[in-house]
């Protein structure tokens, strides 16, 4: 089979490279740098630490010590990815890596390695910019950071509306998240206008479940369907029901955390399984003379999923691009299917908030929604009280972080 990277056709006629390079900047361990307390962080650093794990800014008051990725690491990694052959780069306004993406792309264009049209750039609309009149301004900020005239894909990062302002994680004096009352369909209409203006080629969503997608798809006067839904998806959370739903609507599923979590100790239980150490996966990798990461990525590609891979190591970046050099037989795909355990590494808290007329359940993209804790949680929010317990659910969050649920009202139940 061809070793050349492949593309997937989107429902608007454009094509997205099937393998992308992620640029989310996580906290890291001692190998990368120095410790700083949360209270000493600059505001621009805060989103990098918290958002892609679905956590709101509840931990900022804690005098906790963390490790940071050095500022130059994302830029170095993006340079390496482009040199290795990656042509799909995924970023977001809240990651604070758009400037690195733009700098790397301009450098490679100047060097004659690529042309702008060779690169597929994704960025994302942040939750404090959901008001229709603010959508384009957030996009223009991203374009300025990226030093680009357009992006290939613009995604609604979360189906959550937060109060506009300079603070990307607005909270009140009690530490409760300040949400906004914006119709998600009105936000989508503003994104459609950005596409009409030529600022984006395609528009999509992230962390949506089927009901949230239906809200957009059934909107009167819908001009453009979402081309994709970017969600956590890996061997331990294969999203089969959501994948089938998206395929039925001609919406491409894009997988983040495809190789498992980067395992930040602040909220991922150290005892949670390391996906790339799974014995079944490792045995299969030996069988095919490939790395576990290559097998995990190839699995998603053969399911028709666009997959994002991320690493700061040159050898791993080069290795990940080689997933088009082999194919897994059907019997191996079935074995990998059986590894699913509905385990979420990047917890997306369940948020229920009500507009004046219609409650909107922010239950994200899980197929069976569980609070990731093995102990009961009793949460009181306003006049509503929700008791949640699930002794059989998989604990992937450190128990001491259950305090975060004071910001949220969890719900249990099937979502697809």
Catalytic residues: 95
SS3 of residue 272 by DSSP = coil
What are 265's two structure tokens? 């100790």
CB count within 10 Å of CB 402 equals 16
**Cβ contact 231:263 at 8 Å:** no
List the alpha helices (DSSP H) in 18-128.
46-50, 73-84, 98-110
Q: CB 263: neighbour CB atoms within 10 A?
A: 16
How is residue 107 written in tokens?
């450098």
The pair phi, psi for residue 187, each rounded to 5°, is -60, -40
Give 96-127 as a DSSP string. Answer: T-HHHHHHHHHHHHHTTS--GGG-EEEEEE-G
The span from the CA of 44 to the CA of 49, in Å, is 10
Angle CA 296–299–300, to nearest 5: 100
97-101 contacts, C-beta under 8 A, 24 or more apart: 97/23, 97/24, 97/25, 97/48, 98/123, 98/142, 98/145, 98/146, 99/145, 99/146, 100/23, 100/74, 100/75, 101/23, 101/146
* Tokens encoding 49: 């630490």
Reduce the DSSP state of residue 66 to 3 states and report it.
strand
Cα-flanking dihedrals φ and ψ of residue 386, to 5°? -125, 120
Distances (CA, A) of 345 to 15, 107, 233, 331: 29, 34, 10, 27
- With residues binned 3-state (H G I as helix, E B as strand, rest as coil), the percentages for the chain, rounded to 5, are 35, 20, 45
For 300, residues 6+ apart whose C-beta sits below 8 A from its C-beta are 233, 255, 258, 307
């Amino acid at each position: 089979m061809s070793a050349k990277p492949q593309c997937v056709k989107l429902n608007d006629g454009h094509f997205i490279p099937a393998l992308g390079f992620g640029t989310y900047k996580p906290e890291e361990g001692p190998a990368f740098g120095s410790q700083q307390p949360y209270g000493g962080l600059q505001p621009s650093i805060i989103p990098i630490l918290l958002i892609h794990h679905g956590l709101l800014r509840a931990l900022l008051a804690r005098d906790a010590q963390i490790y940071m990725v050095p500022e130059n690491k994302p830029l170095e990694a993006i340079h390496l990815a482009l040199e290795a052959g990656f042509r799909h780069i995924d970023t977001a306004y809240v990651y604070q890596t758009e400037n690195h993406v733009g700098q790397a792309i301009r450098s490679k264009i100047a060097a004659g390695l690529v042309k702008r049209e060779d690169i597929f750039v994704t960025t994302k609309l942040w939750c404090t910019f959901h008001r229709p009149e603010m959508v384009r301004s957030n996009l223009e900020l991203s374009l300025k950071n990226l030093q680009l005239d357009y992006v290939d894909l613009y995604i609604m990062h979360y189906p959550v509306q937060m109060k506009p302002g300079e603070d990307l994680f607005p909270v009140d004096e009690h530490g409760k998240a300040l949400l906004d009352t914006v119709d998600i369909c009105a936000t989508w209409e503003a994104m459609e206008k950005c596409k009409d203006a030529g600022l984006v080629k395609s528009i999509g969503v992230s962390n949506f479940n089927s009901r949230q997608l239906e809200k957009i798809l059934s909107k009167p006067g819908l001009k453009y369907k979402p081309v994709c839904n970017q969600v956590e998806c890996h061997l331990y959370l294969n999203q089969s029901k959501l994948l089938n739903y998206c395929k039925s609507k001609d919406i491409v599923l894009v997988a983040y955390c495809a190789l498992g979590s980067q395992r930040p100790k602040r909220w991922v239980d150290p005892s949670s399984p390391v996906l790339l150490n799974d014995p079944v996966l490792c045995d299969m990798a030996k069988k095919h003379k490939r790395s576990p990461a290559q097998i995990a990525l190839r699995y998603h590609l053969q399911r028709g999923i666009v997959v994002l891979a991320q690493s700061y190591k040159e050898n791993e970046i080069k290795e990940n691009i080689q997933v088009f050099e082999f194919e897994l037989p059907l019997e191996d795909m079935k074995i990998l299917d059986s590894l699913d355990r509905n385990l979420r590494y990047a917890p997306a808290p369940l948020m229920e908030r009500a507009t004046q007329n219609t409650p909107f359940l922010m239950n994200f993209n899980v197929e069976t929604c569980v609070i990731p804790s093995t102990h009961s949680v009793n949460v009181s929010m306003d006049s509503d009280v929700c008791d949640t317990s699930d002794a059989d659910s998989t604990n992937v969050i450190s128990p001491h972080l259950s305090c975060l649920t004071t910001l949220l009202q969890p719900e249990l139940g099937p979502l697809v």
